[in-house]
């Protein structure tokens, strides 16, 4: 059976890029074709975690495709049936808010909109310091939105960052396969990664 094609959209949670890219590589090595998308920030900002051009080069090497980093490039993804499902990993609190409120002003939000408009599933892997505060209502709204699913999450540092949640990125593929069947991978909230 032919493997499904996944869109893989990255937002600017730069501290998680290494883990996300490692998981992207694992998914590609399992034979899933990937179409990479990056937000404006993810594709352009050099940070203490690495240079944007280096991340782009690595992602393109894994996916064997050029990164889509423009709104115009992302718009046809859904209508042209370029993917079977869109993954957003890492998904920042900023992007969660935009998705929850129908704002389409980045390549990632356009990629999601282009998939939702034709009924494709979207799998979100949040990584945000305000998931249990300002972003909580956006997560709640998206949980109640048709065709949106989440990668299971846990608090990453409850003592120092009591409102922060991060997805267990090792569960991106299981969450995507469950979403293709119309199911949310459970449990959604976990006490520790992998538990």
What single DSSP character describes residue 192?
A: S
The DSSP call for residue 184 is -
pLDDT in tens, 27-42: 999 999 999 999 999 9
**CATH T-level assignment (fold) for domain 6-180:** Rossmann fold (3.40.50)
End-to-end CA distance of the chain: 31
CB 83 within 8 A of CB 111: no
**What is the mean pLDDT of the segment spanning 117-133?**
95
Residue 194 contacts by C-beta under 8 Å, 6 or more apart in sequence?
Answer: 168, 170, 171
pLDDT range class, residue 192, cuts 50, 70, 90: low
> pLDDT class for 1, splitting at 50, 70, 90?
low
């Amino acid at each position: 059976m032919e493997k499904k094609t996944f869109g893989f959209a990255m937002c600017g949670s730069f501290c998680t890029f290494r883990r996300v890219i490692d998981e992207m590589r694992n998914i590609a090595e399992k034979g899933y074709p990937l179409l990479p998308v990056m937000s404006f920030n993810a594709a352009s900002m050099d940070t203490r975690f690495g240079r944007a051009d280096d991340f782009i080069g690595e992602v393109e090497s894994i996916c064997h495709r050029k990164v889509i980093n423009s709104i115009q490039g992302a718009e046809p993804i859904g209508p042209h049936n370029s993917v079977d499902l869109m993954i957003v990993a890492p998904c920042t609190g900023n992007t969660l808010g935009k998705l929850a409120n129908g704002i389409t002003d980045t390549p990632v939000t356009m990629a999601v909109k282009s998939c939702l408009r034709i009924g494709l599933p979207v799998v979100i892997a949040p990584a945000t310091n305000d998931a249990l505060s300002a972003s909580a209502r956006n997560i709640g709204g998206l949980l109640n939105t048709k065709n949106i699913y989440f990668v299971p999450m846990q608090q990453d540092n409850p003592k120092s960052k009591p409102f922060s949640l991060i997805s267990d990125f090792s569960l991106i593929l299981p969450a995507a396969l469950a979403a293709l069947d119309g199911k949310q991978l459970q449990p959604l909230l976990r006490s520790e990664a992998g538990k």
